[in-house]
Chains A and B, each alone.
Chain A
Amino acid sequence: MEQNRREFIGKSCRALTMAAVATQLSHLGLVSALAQKRSRKSEAVDSYKALVCVFLNGGSDANNMVVPKYTAGYADYSAARTAQGLAIPQANLLSVTPPSIGLEFGLHPNLAELHQLWGQNRLAVVTNVGTLVQPLTKALYLSGAPRPDQLFSHSDQVAQFRTAISNSSATTGWGGRLADRTGPINAGAAIPMITSMAGVTIFSNGVTSSPLIVEPAPTPLNQVLTLNGFGTTSDELARKTAMQRIRGEDLDKTLVQAAGFLTQQAVSVSEQLSTDPPLTVTFPATTLGNQLKQVAKLMKFRTSLNMTRQIFFVQLPGFDTHGSQITNQGNLFTQLSQALKAFYDETVAQGISGQVTTFTMSDFSRTLNPAGTGGNVGSDHAWAGHHLVMGDAVAGGNFYGRPTSNGSIFPTLVNNGPDDISTRGRFVPTVSVEMYAATLARWFGLNEAEMPLVFPLIGNFPTSNLGFMG
């Protein structure tokens, strides 16, 4: 009951009094900055760990990211896609042979850098992941068993991947709830545990945690949050003081309070980010490269900011490839591969490649059956897809998942086949978002007892550990 009540309070407290604002600030790790002192913590208590979520926005077609290369598997794939021009030629696929299946698969040819990490056992694939409220098969689905709200809708499926709650509209994300629960490990942190480089997202909102949001490189880290126009004359100082005091008024008005609070948070954090640290690795100047570059810079400050745990959210948009998929997804994969490799190399340079785990999420995968044909060919919204996990803590060079109808952890790529709940290749997931995320969260330091608080439906699923984190 107490947990429920806590969640209830979290959902329903609207405006906060001054005292409650102070309480909230302490949850955000800002109170130390405001109090001008910081509790010192022994380095030995717990070593640094970070999770980096890379969201492939728009619904990335996993069918062209990880493709069966063995003869029978490729034949199914080719039968579904070659005629319309959406199949990747077998010879172009970058070979991987996961021990868990024992057959040859291939990564998309533009994922060359990631293929290299696979060869070093630093990259794992988690197969057939999707939103679920309970384990499903095609038969169960067709019989009307409970399924996520609004399958195939972007906004809902994006939200469900980010909240790990698929049967109601949640007001917190799993990153935020993970930060709520692991906050004590991070005691004394100078900035919030979560940083988003991609704006506001429900992923990073907890009951008590709220994220720092900064803009990506090339903006130097010491210029992401600056307040211009104040010198040291007495009238300027008086104006600054008045501005600060005005933020402390009208806190009973909900939206006014929220606007003032976020502004105050920005002012507080800006005082902590006074320099722009140099990096060892050169990052590609791309959408994703620039975001990961800023992540690496914040990581470089982890000691001075007293960060023991960090969660980052970055996003690569453009995966909603209803048309022109071959070109568009190909370019995005090139960008993804190059940016992730640069980021990985930078964590090596910083000596934390075993303490930083990077993983992908996406709205959903796309229909095996193409939409359109020729140069315009694309695919429509589907369901289960595959995801990538990168880092030295990852048990790489393998596929992880749960058995599909064919007994292996990879679905049968046949339209209207045993894993397709429609006629166009929309595969029913065998790994829920919860199982995928809980495996990451356990590594991050979430204890078993609190697992259901972060993942309310985890008890519906056979495991909270898919094994890819060793």
Chain B
Amino acid sequence: MKGFSAPRLFFQAVCCALAIFSAVAVSAQNPPEDAPVLISQPGSTRALTARPTGKSFDFSPKTVQAGRNPRITFFVTNLALLPDEGANAFRVDLQDAQGYRYPLQVLALEPLADRPWVYALTVRLHPLMTNVGDVLVRANWRGMASNRVRLAIGFESRKPEDDAGAVPTPMPDKPPVTTPVQNVASLPWAGDRVRFIEQSTFGPNAALEMRLRRIGFSAWLNEQTEEKRDANGALRYSTYPYPNLPLMPQTPSQTCTGNCLRDNYSMYPLQKWFFRETLYGEDQQLRRRVSWALGQIWVVSGRETIQPSRMVPYVQVLDRNAFGNYRDLMREMTLNPAMGNYLDMAISTQQNPNENYAREILQLFSIGLYRLNQDGTVQRDAQNNPIPTYDQSVVNGFTKVFTGWSFCVQGCPNSQPGIVNYKDQMVLTPANHDAGEKQLLNYPGAVSIIPAGLTADQDFEMALDNIFYHPNVAPFVSKILIQQLVTSNPTPAYVGRVAAVFNDNGQGIRGDLKAVVRAILLDPEARGNLKTDPDYGHLREPVLFVTNILRPLNPVSVATAGGACSNQSDGYLNPATIVLDQDVFNPPSVFNYYPMTYTLQNTDLHAPEFGIFSTGTALKRPNFVNQMIFGGGIGLSSDASCGTQVSLARWQSLAAADTTGALLVDTMNTEIMHGSLSPVVRGHILEAVQAVASTDSLKRARTAFYLVATAPQFQVQR
């Protein structure tokens, strides 16, 4: 590793990259440059590569031969790695002259002995890759994309052309200045603050942004997760009281029509409450967001539950445990009557067992179908097949465990004749419980068989412990929560860091969701600079799309609604999300509004929310924006006693203050797009703004907001 020189050019590249960022970051303080740098040959952008030979490297091959020697080592620097951050913290891809991009399997990451600030990054080309000539290679780390370097596969070629501004990045002789990880998670950069808000709430507004600026991420997380009490001193898990609705007869009475049906046999009251929580529930934003995410794991649908009064206790289980322990959530959910009805546990008896709940608690709520490594990657056997976590005998075993539990018909606080009790936890009828031996999950340390003859309660707790202590639970749950809050395709390292906190919150406690949420939101892959990894981020699901648009625009009731509404929206927003295929609390099946495993066409990338984004729903997003921005909002109706409209006054004043439109667009870039608009997109918006007469500041504000909120760059939160 001798003879490398010219670190000067390397630092030039860093400066150049900084200059680009300063053009888009509006905050007074620029984010630090913390992207990885792939090392090139001294005088060109061609990659410095080597062939791994076991203990050292062979630098002689100039080209890589596809199919024969698919392993190749690159060199990367400008990293400040965490102690256990290794190969699984990196994603590497290459792009050929045709524009196709291929993922590469990352095999190893090792610091060089003589230059510990440089790492050897060894990858494998796909065996089916052919000799295509030059390609451009990039390494992504914590959502940051490196520079791209050229690699010749088979032969050198002119195309593809280098990225604009690419310069040689030769081997550095001294360590680069990097950002310590603790600083990444507490950046005083406006863009990261807004992005943090997008990941942890239902959207930014001025007060929330100011609060974060004053107290920082960590204190804000404490503030949100601390206990809150109502006027009577009772613990409070929502800002507004839950709809207080009576349990109704299974079949509506003949006189119950119209509003009676709507209020007692549809999710309407609960949906309105939910949207008001998202719009105005400032002291419960994080809890609401986490509860909403957990509800997309532990799915119960109003389509089968029918009565909103029956769904409230289910929502309360989610809310109560959002910062609690996953084991408590498992227990309370399993005994929740709405869940018992939805997945048939309430009708499962020794005499007539029903497998539904047993199957789904394993597949969807806890461990999934395949054995996972702690970083969430799937374990495979010698034939490269994924290894199943359980078989039918285990489903049979858990089915027996869950027999005998049903609605509390009498003796519970809410038992009443002729009304199914969906308010109290389900209770046991011992005669309906199967006391036989039960096969549970088998893994190291597990008690995998329940002997015959134990009590139903003993069976129940042993079985839930058997699931809870399965090694899959931490990576399975952690990954879904990351996907819900931050990004559809977290690196395995990110999943691994969060899973480790799930396994042990630092005080020896497993399943502490408060610690897990904190770990997700403060992780360097969630925080820091603008994310440049092309695969970063997630599509805003319809609920987030709608609330993320409304919250920054101070949603209020329509003017004619009067003082009875306290100037607030009534929360009648479900019509906006239902046309986007997200009917709140009415998911089509236990597989949620969209499957977490949905894969984007032509890729190997997860994109769960794209499961409900299609040609059929794509134009309904801009149409909602149009309705709110140009169309006066959601007017009064028999279902909307207050209506919903937005205020553009602040944006209008920005438009009036600067007739070039730049102040308007740049402020929107900071506050709505967390500084991520490219100069080109900014230019397109500015051009459209300038096409409106400068005297019509309202229309200028509307035009700018419409274009931001309808942009694909806004649909995808990154």
Contact = CB atoms under 8 A, between A and B. Distances in A.
A5 B613 contact: no
Nearest to A270: B619
A214 B615 contact: yes
Interface in B505-558: 534-539
Contact of B716 (A253, A320, A377): A253
Interface stretch (B112-120, B186-194, B276-284, B594-602): B594-602
Interface in A333-380: 370-373, 376-378, 380
B213 interface: no
B99 A372 contact: no
A262 B613 contact: yes
A381 interface: yes
A245 interface: yes
Interface in B21-74: none
A226 B619 contact: yes
A213 interface: yes
Interface in B675-718: 678, 680-681, 684-685, 687-688, 691-693, 699, 703, 706-707, 710-713, 715-716, 718
Interface stretch (A6-14, A301-309, A437-445): A6-14
A152 interface: yes
A467 B405 CA distance: 50
B432 to A, nearest CB: 11
A19 B96 CA distance: 13
A246 B688 CA distance: 11
Contact of B681 (A11, A249, A257, A422): A249
Given A5-B130, A259-B716, A263-B618, A150 B99 contact: no
A121 interface: no
B666 interface: no
Contacts of A172: 601
A239 interface: yes
A266 interface: yes
A418 interface: no
A48 to B, nearest CB: 22
How many B residues are at the interface, by size bracket?
35 or more
B581 interface: yes
Interface in B566-606: 581, 588-591, 595, 597-605
Interface in A1-60: 1, 4-5, 8-20, 57-58
A97 interface: no
Contact of B610 (A16, A151, A258): A258
Given A200-B610, A247-B712, A372-B354, A14 B392 contact: no
A8 B534 contact: no
A141 to B, nearest CB: 12
Contacts, number: 264
Contact of A255 (B678, B687, B716): B716
B602 A370 contact: no
Interface stretch (A102-110, A153-161, A391-399): A153-161
Interface stretch (B100-108, B229-237, B263-271): B100-108
A242 interface: yes
B353 interface: yes
Contacts of A296: none
B604 A8 contact: no
A199 interface: yes
Contacts of B597: 155, 169
A229 B707 CA distance: 12
Contacts of A205: 601
B80 interface: no
Nearest to B581: A199
Contacts of A14: 93, 101-103, 534-535, 602-605
Contacts of B588: 317
A232 interface: no
Nearest to B532: A253
A437 to B, nearest CB: 20
Interface stretch (B407-415, B451-459, B622-630): B622-630
Given A4-B128, A15-B101, A370 B352 contact: yes
Nearest to A9: B100
Contact of B602 (A13, A196, A246, A267): A13
A13 B604 CA distance: 8
A458 interface: no
Contacts of A370: 352
A210 B626 CA distance: 28
A264 B255 CA distance: 49
A402 interface: no
Contact of A214 (B100, B616, B693, B718): B616
B344 interface: yes
Contact of A263 (B589, B605, B707, B712): B712
A323 B349 CA distance: 13
A322 B615 contact: no
A186 to B, nearest CB: 18
Contacts of B603: 11-14, 171, 254
B684 A242 contact: yes
Contacts of A322: 344, 347, 354, 356
A269 B589 contact: no
Interface string A226-269: 11110000110011011101110110111111111011011101
Interface in A187-207: 196, 199-200, 205, 207
Contacts of B355: 371, 380-381
B388 interface: yes
Contact of B605 (A154, A252, A254, A323): A254
A239 B706 contact: yes
B535 A254 contact: yes
Contacts of B536: 253
A226 B718 CA distance: 28
A229 B614 contact: no
B703 A239 contact: yes
Interface string B370-407: 00000000000000001010001001000000000000
A258 B607 contact: yes
B712 A260 contact: yes
Nearest to A422: B392
B354 A242 contact: no
B605 to A, nearest CB: 6
A156 B597 CA distance: 11
A113 interface: no
Given A246-B713, A256-B712, A317-B589, A263 B614 contact: no
> Which of B100, B602, B685, B692 counts the most chain A CB atoms within 10 A?
B602
B676 to A, nearest CB: 9
Contacts of A20: 98-100
A260 to B, nearest CB: 4
A253 B534 contact: yes
Which of A196, A210, A255 is packed against the most chain B CB atoms within 10 Å? A255
Nearest to A209: B601
A235 B626 contact: no
A245 B600 contact: no
Contact of A199 (B535, B612, B630): B612
14 contacts: A14-B604, A149-B388, A153-B369, A210-B601, A225-B615, A226-B619, A228-B626, A235-B692, A238-B687, A239-B706, A241-B688, A253-B718, A255-B488, A266-B615
Given A149-B386, A239-B688, A265-B615, 13 more contacts: A150-B388, A152-B395, A213-B614, A214-B616, A228-B623, A235-B703, A243-B706, A245-B684, A255-B535, A256-B713, A262-B615, A323-B347, A370-B352
Interface of B: 93, 95, 98-103, 126, 128-130, 344, 347-349, 351-356, 359, 363, 369, 386, 388, 392, 395, 488, 534-539, 581, 588-591, 595, 597-605, 607, 610-619, 622-623, 626-627, 630-631, 678, 680-681, 684-685, 687-688, 691-693, 699, 703, 706-707, 710-713, 715-716, 718
Closest 9 CB pairs of A and B: A17-B99, A238-B691, A229-B626, A260-B712, A213-B616, A242-B688, A213-B614, A13-B100, A259-B712
